[in-house]
Chain A
Amino acid sequence: MIDFTGATIGFILMLGMMALGLHVAVAIFLTSVLGAIVYFGPDLLDTFATQLWAVMNDFILTAIPLFVLLGELLMRAGVTQRMYSGLSTWLGRLPGGLLHTNIGASGLFAAVSGSSVATAATISTVALPELRKRGYNERLVLGSIAAGATLGILIPPSVNLIIYGALTGTSIGQLFAAGIVPGLLLIGLFMLSIAIISLLLPGSAGALDEAATWSEKVKSLQHLIPPLSIFVVVMGAIYTGWATPTEAAAVGVLMAVALAAGNKALSISMLHDAFLSTVRTTAMILLIIIAAFYLKFIIGILGVPQAMTSFVAAMALTPLEFIFVLVIFYLILGCFIETLSMMVGTIPIVFPLVLHMGLDPVWFGIFLVLMMELALITPPVGMNLFVVQGVRRTGSVIDVFYGIIPFVGVVLFAVSLIIAFPGIVTWLPYKMF
C-alpha cells in the first residue's frame, strides 16, 4: 500500500515526464508501470493485456470516433460560413453587433465539431477580415472568438464528456444533459458582457447592420436549421431513450452525410479526408485513454484513493474549501498542460476524493470541463489564444491576451455560479433520467 507522499511523488514524476516532452500517454503509462513495479513487482504488468482489449473494444467508447467523424464531416460540409451569415442576420442588431455572432457561431460550430482549435481557426478566418473592415475593436473581436471556441467541450455532444463518463463510470446521457444549461448560461453571459462593454465603450463595436427584414431572417434559417437539427436529433434520441449516445452519434453521422450532399460538398475525396482525420484523432485520444485506464487500475490496487482520502480527511476541509483547492489546482495545471491530458491524467486521483467529499459526479464533470475551458483561454499558454493569433498573422499575441480578459472573468463567474448553485448543472440530468 502506498502512502500520500508516494502518491504525490508519482504524480509529480508524471507531470515531470510530460514537461520534458515525453508523449502524454507514455508519461501516464510509465507512471503506472513504476507504481506497479515498486509496490508489487513486474508480474502485475501482465494485467495490461486484458485491460488493453477491454478498453479498445468498448462500445461506449465507439461514440468517440463517431462523434469525431460527425464533426469532420460537418466541417467539410460547407456549413461554417452559412451558419455565420445566418446568425448575423439574427444577432447583428444587438449592442456589440457581429461580436455576438462570433459567440453564437463559435458555440454552434464548436458543438458540432467538438474541436476548439478547428473552431477558433475557422471562425477567425470568417470573422477577422469582416470585422476589421467594419472598424470593430480588434482586441474584443479576438477575445470573443477565442472564448466562443471553448464552448464546444461543454455543449453536448462533447467527446471530453464521453471520456470523463467512461473513466468515472458516470452516465454519458446525464453528462450531456448537464452540459446544456451551463452551456446556454455561458453563451448568455458572454453576450451580456459584450453588450455591456459595447455600451460602456461606444467605439468598440463597429457600425451595426441595417435591421434584417423578417423575410431575410426566415430565409437565413435555411442555413441554421440543418446543423441545429442534427444537434436536436442526436440529443433527442439520447434523452428519449431511443438510442444510446453511440447509436445517436451514428445517426448524426448519417445526417451529416446527407447535409453535405445537400450542400454539394459530398465527394469520395471529401469522405476520405474526413475518414483519415477521424482515424488519427480517434487513435490520438485512445492512446491516452488506454494509459489512463491502466493508471486508474494500478492506482486502485496501490490504494492511492484511500491514501488521498485519509490525507484530505485529516485536513478536515469542508466541501467548499475542497472545491476551492481544486479550482486553484486546475487553474495552475491548466497553464502548463494540454486540456485533455490534464483531465485524463488527474481523474484517477481526484475523482475518488470528489466522491469522498460527497460531490456529485455529474456536477464534477461539468466543473472539470469549465476548468478546461479556462485552461484554453488563460495566458500565457491558452491554446485558443495562439490559434486566433495564428490566423490573424499581424500584431502581437498580447492583443489577444487583453481581449480575453473579460471572458476569463465571465468563465470564472460561471464557475462560481455552478459552485453556489449546483442545481444549474444537476437539475436537468436528474429530471430527465
Chain B
Amino acid sequence: MQPRNSTFAVLEKLVGAVALACGWALLALCALTGYDIVARRLLGHSVQGVDEIGGYILAITASVGFAAALLNRMHTRIDLGLMIMPVPLRAVMNAVAAITLAGFAIFMTEKAWATLMETLEFGARASTPLQTPLWIPQTLWIFGIALFALIATTMAVHTVWLLLRGQFGTLNTQYGPPSIDEETEASLKVTTPHSSADATIKEAMK
C-alpha cells in the first residue's frame, strides 16, 4: 500500500516475529501465575520468582514493542496543532517529530548499553531467590531498544529525504499521526466478529 512498507519489510517481519514471541511469553506468564496462585493457596508451596520473570517479560515486551508501535504509527502525538498547519509546515513538523524521536531512542540505547556494561563488569545478579544473572534479560532488552533506535533513525533519515525532495504529501501520509477515522477503522477490524463466531452471534441476536 505504501512504498515505506517495502523499505521496512525485513525489519517489520523481524519485529513482528519477536513481538509474537513476547505475546506467547505473556501467556506463559499467565499460566505460571495461575499455577502459582493455586499452589500457594491450596498446595502449600509456591513457585519462586514469578514476579521477577514477569518484570523481565515486561521489559523485553515493551522494548520490542517500541519498534512495533513505531511501525504502526502508534506512539501518541497530539494532532490538533498539525491539523491547522499548512501542508509544508506540517511536513516539517512531522520530520522534526521523527528526528527527535530517533534522538530519544538513541539516547535510550546508549543509557541501556551503559547499564548492561555495568552489569557485566560487576557480574550483577538479581537480589532475589532466582539470582538471575542480569545480563540475560538485559541483553534481550537492549536488543529491542536498539531495534527501536535503528528503525526510528531510518525513518528520520527518510523524512529528511522526503522533505528535501519536496514530497510533503507523502511525508504527511506516512509519518503524520493517524486520523481518528483510521483508529476507528482499526478497532472495528478487531471487533467485527470472526466468521466462525458470526453464525452463533446471529443466533444470539435473534
Contacts and interface: CB of A to CB of B under 8 A. Distances in A.
B56 interface: yes
Contacts of B180: 383, 386-387, 390
Contacts of A234: none
Contacts of B76: 23-25, 284, 288, 338, 340-341
Size bin of chain B's contact surface: 35 or more
Interface stretch (A191-199, A268-276, A346-354, A402-410): A268-276
Contacts of B31: 254
A21 B97 contact: yes
Contacts of A237: 37
A35 B36 CA distance: 44
A221 interface: no
Given A56-B141, A247-B37, A24 B78 contact: yes
B187 A250 contact: no
Interface string A278-299: 1111111011101000000000
A171 B116 CA distance: 31
A48 B77 CA distance: 23
Contacts of A271: 23, 27
A59 B77 CA distance: 27
A76 interface: yes
Contacts of A80: 191
Interface stretch (A62-70, A152-160, A179-187): A62-70
B62 interface: yes
A250 B29 contact: yes
Contacts of A267: 194, 196
Contact of A338 (B33, B58, B78): B78
A242 B75 contact: no
Secondary structure of the B contact surface, majority rule: helix
A251 B37 CA distance: 9
B149 to A, nearest CB: 13
Contacts of A122: 187-188, 191
Interface stretch (A113-121, A317-325, A367-375): A113-121
A61 B78 contact: no
B201 A21 contact: no
B162 interface: no
B36 A284 contact: no
A420 interface: no
B75 A284 contact: yes
Interface string B71-111: 01011111111100000001001101100110110011001
Given A78-B201, A265-B194, A276-B16, A58 B58 contact: yes
B157 interface: no
Q: Which of B54, B78, B114, B204 gathers the greatest number of chain A CB atoms within 10 Å? A: B78
A78 B197 contact: yes
Contacts of B93: 20-22
A21 B78 contact: yes
B63 interface: yes
Nearest to A388: B184
Nearest to B111: A49
B190 A277 contact: yes
A81 to B, nearest CB: 5
B3 to A, nearest CB: 22
A170 B76 CA distance: 25
Contacts of B54: 59, 62, 246
Contact of A48 (B27, B75, B81, B107): B107
A247 B200 contact: no
Interface of A: 18-26, 29-30, 46, 48-50, 52-53, 56-59, 61-62, 64-66, 69, 72, 75-76, 78, 80-82, 85-86, 115, 117-118, 121-122, 125, 223, 237, 242-243, 246-247, 250-251, 253-254, 257, 263-265, 267, 270-284, 286-288, 290, 336-338, 340-341, 381, 383, 386-387, 390-391
18 contacts: A21-B94, A22-B96, A25-B104, A52-B115, A53-B115, A57-B59, A65-B58, A75-B190, A117-B183, A125-B192, A242-B41, A250-B30, A254-B31, A263-B197, A278-B23, A279-B23, A284-B76, A337-B78
Given A24-B77, A277-B190, 20 more contacts: A21-B93, A21-B94, A22-B96, A23-B75, A57-B137, A62-B54, A65-B57, A66-B30, A75-B190, A76-B191, A78-B193, A118-B187, A118-B191, A121-B187, A125-B191, A246-B54, A251-B33, A276-B19, A280-B72, A288-B76
Interface of B: 16, 19-20, 22-24, 26-27, 29-31, 33-34, 36-37, 41, 50-52, 54-59, 61-69, 72, 74-82, 90, 93-94, 96-97, 100-101, 103-104, 107-108, 111-112, 114-115, 137-138, 141, 177, 180-181, 183-185, 187-188, 190-194, 196-197, 200-201, 204-205
